């Protein structure tokens, strides 16, 4: 059985109502990126940053996984250990759809960690009415468990091993412009994988894509998954 690795981006969540990463003006949901998505921004104004992520967390809970998320869950159910899902998204919709083999390379809106002792907490267990949640163990400030600009994404070694070992690499709902994730397709292709993309727009790294499906994830992915599984 072939080994599949899937990378998802903002496009798949956008079809559930989650606003996409950045607009053309460089703003992140109406905020300057450096203010709300950098260690320097958090140090300068942790209250602003926490309010931003509390709002994003609440938004993520207000929407539901869509049929594209469930199509990938179906793929996982059928392929089992031959399927792995990497996501750039932090909204948790893949997990809420039932996916278990999920690598959240940019962190998660649903967790926070202590800046002092690194203790990790689900946001659901924290008092979010305070401006800056604090660690229950040491009393120091918590920060959102999000990989910010200038920080190294999670699980890069594990991801590299999956890319080198997969037979098919699929890119779903991502522009192919944000690194290091944009380079994953190049690595997979270099090691012999067949590459497939599903996206509303043509991705920036189209030259590394063997099979392009242009359109909405919710319309194109379910039948594509059924086609793949019929051949598995």
Strands 83-87 and 102-104, bridge-based pairing:
parallel
Q: pLDDT digit string (tens) for 47-84?
A: 999 999 999 999 999 999 999 999 999 999 999 999 99
Q: pLDDT digit string (tens) for 151-181?
A: 999 999 999 999 999 999 999 999 887 788 8
Percent of the chain having pLDDT more than 70? 95
Q: pLDDT digit string (tens) for 74-114?
A: 999 999 999 999 999 999 999 999 999 999 999 999 999 99
The arithmetic mean of pLDDT across residues 104-128, rounded, is 96
Domain 21-62+107-146 has CATH 3.30.1600.10: yes
Give the model's confidence band at 203: pLDDT under 50 very low, under 70 low, under 90 confident, else very high. Answer: confident
- Residue 80 confidence (pLDDT): 97
Give the model's confidence band at 22: pLDDT under 50 very low, under 70 low, under 90 confident, else very high. Answer: low
Domain ranges of the chain: 1-18+65-106+153-232, 21-62+107-146
DSSP of the chain, one letter per residue? ---EEEEE-HHHHHTTTPPPS--TTSEETTEEHHHHSSHHHHHH-HHHHHHHHHHHHHHHHHS---HHHHHHHHHHHHHGGGEEEEES--S-HHHHTT--SEEETTEEEEEEEETTT--EEEGGGS-TTSSS-B-TTT-PBEEEEE--TTSPPTTHHHHHHHHHH-SEEEEES--S-STTGGGHHHHHHHTT-EEEEEESS--TTGGG-SEEEES-HHHHHHHHHHHHHHH-
Q: CA 221, CA 227: separation in Å to the nearest integer?
A: 10
Domains 1-18+65-106+153-232 and 21-62+107-146 share a fold: no
- Residue 63 confidence (pLDDT): 95
Give the CATH fold of the 1-18+65-106+153-232 domain. Answer: Rossmann fold (3.40.50)
The arithmetic mean of pLDDT across residues 2-20, rounded, is 92
Q: Which of 31, 106, 194, 213 is catalytic?
A: 106
Annotated active-site residue 194? The verdict is no
Q: Which residue has the tokens 């793929």?
A: 75
Tokens of 18: 């989650």
The arithmetic mean of pLDDT across residues 201-227, rounded, is 95
Task: Identify whether the C-beta of residue 34 lies closer than 8 Å to the C-beta of residue 149.
Answer: yes
pTM of the prediction? Answer: 0.93
Please, which residues bridge with residue 5 across strands? Answer: 84, 169
The arithmetic mean of pLDDT across residues 122-136, rounded, is 95
pLDDT(24) > 60: no
Please, which residues bridge with residue 194 across strands? Answer: 168
């Amino acid at each position: 059985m072939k080994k599949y690795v899937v990378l998802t981006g903002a496009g798949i969540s956008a079809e559930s109502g989650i606003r996409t990463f950045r607009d053309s003006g460089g703003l992140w949901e109406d905020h300057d990126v450096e203010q709300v998505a950098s260690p320097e921004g958090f140090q300068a104004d942790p209250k602003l940053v926490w309010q931003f992520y509390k709002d994003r967390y609440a938004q993520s809970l207000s929407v539901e996984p869509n049929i594209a998320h469930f199509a990938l869950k179906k793929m996982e159910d059928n392929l089992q250990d031959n399927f792995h899902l990497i996501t750039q998204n932090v909204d948790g919709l893949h997990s809420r759809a039932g996916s278990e083999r999920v690598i959240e390379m940019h962190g998660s809106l649903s967790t926070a960690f202590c800046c002092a002792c690194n203790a990790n907490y689900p946001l659901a267990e924290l008092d979010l009415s305070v401006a800056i949640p604090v660690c229950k163990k040491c009393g120091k400030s918590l920060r959102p468990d999000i990989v910010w600009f200038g920080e190294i994404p999670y699980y890069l070694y594990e991801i590299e091993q999956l890319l080198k070992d997969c037979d098919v690499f699929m890119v779903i709902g991502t522009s192919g412009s944000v690194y290091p994730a944009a380079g994953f397709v190049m690595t997979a292709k270099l090691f012999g994988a067949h590459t497939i993309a599903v996206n509303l727009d043509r991705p920036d790294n189209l030259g590394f894509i063997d099979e392009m499906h242009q359109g909405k994830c919710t319309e194109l992915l379910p039948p594509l998954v059924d086609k793949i599984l019929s051949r598995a």
